[in-house]
Chains A and B, each alone.
Chain A
Amino acid sequence: MTQEVTTKATFPSVEWFNAIKELINNDEAYKRHGTCDAAVGIKVPDLQKYYKLTFEAFELEEVKECDEAEAENTDFWLQQTYAKWKEMIENIRANGRADLHHTLNTLDIEDPDDLARSNDGYRRDLFYRFNQSFQHFFDASSQIETQFV
């Protein structure tokens, strides 16, 4: 009898993002979305935690913790409060993927300042162009046991 092993990781942390990286880099369904080239910042302002994710071709190539300036020196960054991040991740965990109210698209629409932000309108559009790859990435967090700080 096999026992399913669930990775545990704390959000936000490099380990949490790397756990998802491991999942999607070995996921044929992720690759089927097509190539995705984007440097994406992650900002959790109220915790002052910042990360940079580098997507290239069919993989998430690199995850690193960085300062706020570097998170903003990307194609675009995803920014919401810790409470909103937590709600999104818990929703994904509960449903196996984000329900309509917690997808990146919906959260972006509902935030007047946008979930996806950029200093450049063209680079910001990568959020739309590769949207289903990014959604697949966060939806994969349903497969790990997320702990919160």
Chain B
Amino acid sequence: MSDASAIDIPADLVAVAEEKDLPLDLVRRALALGFPPDAVKQNLSMPGVTAEAAEAFISEQEKIRAGGVITIPPELAEISRAAKYPDELIIRALKLGAPTAMLINQIKAGITPQQAEGFIAQQEALRGGEGGATQLDLSWMKVPTEWGVRVKPGPKGLTVGMINVGTYADIPDYWPYHTEMPRGAYPIPGVPDMGYSIFEKAELWSENAADLYEESIQRRWRPSSDIPWTTMEDLPDVIEKAVCQLCTHISERSLVAGDIVGRWLPEMSYGYHEVKLYLSSAEFDVARWFEVFRKRALSNGGGIGVQSPGYFHRAMIDGRAWTEVSAALHILASSQLLMLFQIGYYTSHNDAERTIFAYCIQDVARQRAYGSQHLRFFLTKKLDRRAEIQHVLNKYEVLLDYEWEKDVPLREALMILLGGGASADQMADGFSKLEYFRALWANDYIKQLAAAGLGDRRDKVHYTIKKYLPQPEAAVAAAA
């Protein structure tokens, strides 16, 4: 047994002992018995602990460790035997230092002998078995990774981007590991392949991913309580139906967007965790959109409307490369979705709707930010694949237009909302305003493409988009 007088007592434990007026020698003897300081502190802090009780307990433990006979106190024996606990199990618990009162309480609480056996065996293993001396390996402490890193928080706290320091800031162009090992960790042999398929930085990276993740977490909102639901009042039936149709459409495409990103996340290797983190938060965004628009549809006397045709969304699900899918989802589809959010905001009938659409506008802009900056990074690294991206966008722009033409319920709902009703005059007004929003969207989409490094696509976009773009002065003059 170790020399108790040579044991240092942690300062917080000294404080507890002094508060309870317990001799420090008792504490040293408890530590010498091998009880962890936290356990000693916890036991001393319990109400009713006196120097006499502690002395009796520690003396008993010292006697046990010295090879003395362990006796089960009669009050404990009565209860444990009634509960069909073997005496041997109770003796093992006492040997571990379990107080009699605690054992009585645990048995009365219904802990079975089998459950107790598992816990006791675990504690014995932690204490190093019968001999009491734990055999530790500790070779893992010599791992050859960078050590001594001490990043300090900044004005925004401790962000994911800030901890990319030293070797941990090395984000390689190719990630060579096929397992779930985090970047910066030391690999061990023999771990099976996780089945990822994206190992090249160019195929998923965006320089803003870490910041977008933090932004997404910071700017999260709760549909249940951040929306002033009580501000909603009954709307004319035709208006409520139009609102609900818009809600149905957005709910549906939110679920699809979740499926699309969810299908690609397991393909992305662990070397680029910033992207995986951000896309995980984007998954949460779309789940929240589904939630909030379903709640809006079902909270003001309306209901769920008609399903969308789904041509465009199904094509995205079938996309064979992440960059292709991201360009379609995060640039093309998200830009159009922004237009829908703007229409919803512009025509909102109460503070609840205004708040919903205002938050959604923030969310979708983050998704565009990932999309445009990923595509820019990809095009910078893959000069030979520029034509491929143009081809992909050609395909998706056609599909999006086809979807728009086929989705009569959505277009009519938008016209009703913008026109304020379903009369002929109102629908004409709604059509005119919808064209205005379409023009805003087309011009905005072109700016997003330019930000992604595809400024030249202005002349290549589908004619249904191009018709909304301002013509160069020379072309206008020639036409005149």
Contacts and interface: CB of A to CB of B under 8 A. Distances in A.
A132 B359 contact: yes
B348 A128 contact: no
Given A100-B348, A100-B354, A109-B437, 13 more contacts: A35-B156, A35-B218, A58-B155, A121-B447, A122-B369, A128-B361, A128-B362, A128-B365, A129-B365, A129-B366, A129-B369, A131-B365, A135-B358
Contact of B373 (A109, A122, A131, A132): A122
Interface string B341-361: 010011010000010001101
Contacts, number: 72
Nearest to B339: A109
11 contacts: A34-B215, A100-B348, A105-B346, A105-B361, A106-B345, A109-B440, A112-B440, A122-B372, A128-B338, A128-B361, A129-B366
Contact of B369 (A59, A125, A135): A125
For chain B, the bracket of interface size reads: 20 to 34
Interface in B148-183: 154-156
Nearest to A118: B447
A122 B215 CA distance: 15
Contacts of B156: 35, 57-58
A103 B451 CA distance: 26
B405 to A, nearest CB: 24
Interface of B: 154-156, 214-215, 218-220, 338, 342, 345-346, 348, 354, 358-359, 361-362, 364-366, 368-369, 372-373, 436-437, 440, 444, 447-451
A132 B362 contact: yes
B155 A57 contact: yes
Nearest to A106: B346
Interface residues of A, number: 24
Grouping DSSP codes into helix (H, G, I), strand (E, B) and loop, the B interface class, with mixed when no group exceeds half, is helix
A105 B342 contact: yes
A56 interface: yes
Interface string A116-131: 0000111011001111
Top 6 A-B pairs, shortest CB-CB distance: A121-B447, A34-B218, A128-B365, A57-B155, A122-B451, A34-B219
A59 to B, nearest CB: 8
Given A122-B373, A128-B338, A129-B369, A109 B346 contact: yes
Given A57-B155, A100-B354, A125-B365, A120 B451 contact: yes
A131 B450 contact: no
B430 to A, nearest CB: 15
A35 B220 CA distance: 11
Contact of A124 (B342, B436, B447): B447
Contact of B368 (A100, A105, A120, A125): A125
B38 to A, nearest CB: 36
Nearest to A122: B451
Nearest to B355: A132
Contacts of B345: 105-106, 109
Nearest to A127: B365
Interface string A78-122: 000000000000000000000010010110010010000000111
A33 interface: yes
A138 B164 CA distance: 35
Interface string A50-61: 000000111100
A109 B342 contact: yes
Nearest to B343: A109
A10 to B, nearest CB: 30
